[in-house]
C-alpha cells in the first residue's frame, strides 16, 4: 500500500534503522524507543491489524521471526517483552500489523 508508512519503510522508500529483513518480514528500531532496545517487526504483506489476519500461518511465521530477531539478532538473553496493540482502543497508531520487542533493561509491569 503506497500510503502506508510501514509498507514504505519495508520497501526501503522511507529510511529506518533496519535490524533484520528476509522475504517475509522487516524489523527496524522504533523512532521513539520506550526501552534501550525497542524494535518493531512487521510482515511485508499489508495487514492493518491483528484482528484482520485471516491466515493463522502468518501469525506463526511472524512470532517465529520475533523469536529469532529477539534471541539471535538482538541478543536479548536477559529477556524481553512482546506487545501488539490492536486498533485505536488498544493503543495502535500505525495501521500496519507490527510486533514491538522491548528489552535491554528490567521492564516494569
Contacts with ligand AMP by CB under 6 A lie at 5, 16, 28, 30-32, 40, 85, 91-94
The C-alpha atoms of residue 39 and residue 29 are separated, in whole angstroms, by: 4
- Least separation in angstroms between residue 40's CB and ligand AMP is 6
| Cell numbers for 107 | 521492564
Q: Does 68 bind Zn ion (CB under 5 A)?
A: no
45 binds, among ligand AMP, Zn ion, none (CB under 5 to 8 A by kind): none
- What is the DSSP track for 11-27? TTSS---EEEE-SSEEE
CB atoms under 10 Å from CB of 34, counted, come to: 11
Minimum distance between the CB of residue 16 and ligand AMP, rounded to whole angstroms? 5
- Catalytic positions, please? 98
Amino acid at each position: 500500500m503506497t500510503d502506508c508508512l510501514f509498507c514504505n519503510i519495508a520497501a526501503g522508500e522511507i529510511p529506518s534503522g533496519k535490524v533484520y529483513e528476509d522475504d517475509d518480514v522487516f524489523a527496524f528500531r522504533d523512532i521513539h524507543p520506550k526501552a534501550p532496545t525497542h524494535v518493531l517487526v512487521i510482515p511485508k504483506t499489508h495487514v492493518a491489524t491483528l484482528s484482520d489476519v485471516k491466515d493463522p500461518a502468518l501469525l506463526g511465521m511472524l512470532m517465529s521471526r520475533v523469536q529469532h530477531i529477539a534471541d539471535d539478532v538482538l541478543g536479548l538473553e536477559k529477556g524481553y517483552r512482546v506487545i501488539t496493540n490492536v486498533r485505536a482502543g488498544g493503543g495502535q497508531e500505525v495501521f500496519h500489523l507490527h510486533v514491538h520487542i522491548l528489552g535491554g533493561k528490567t521492564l516494569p509491569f
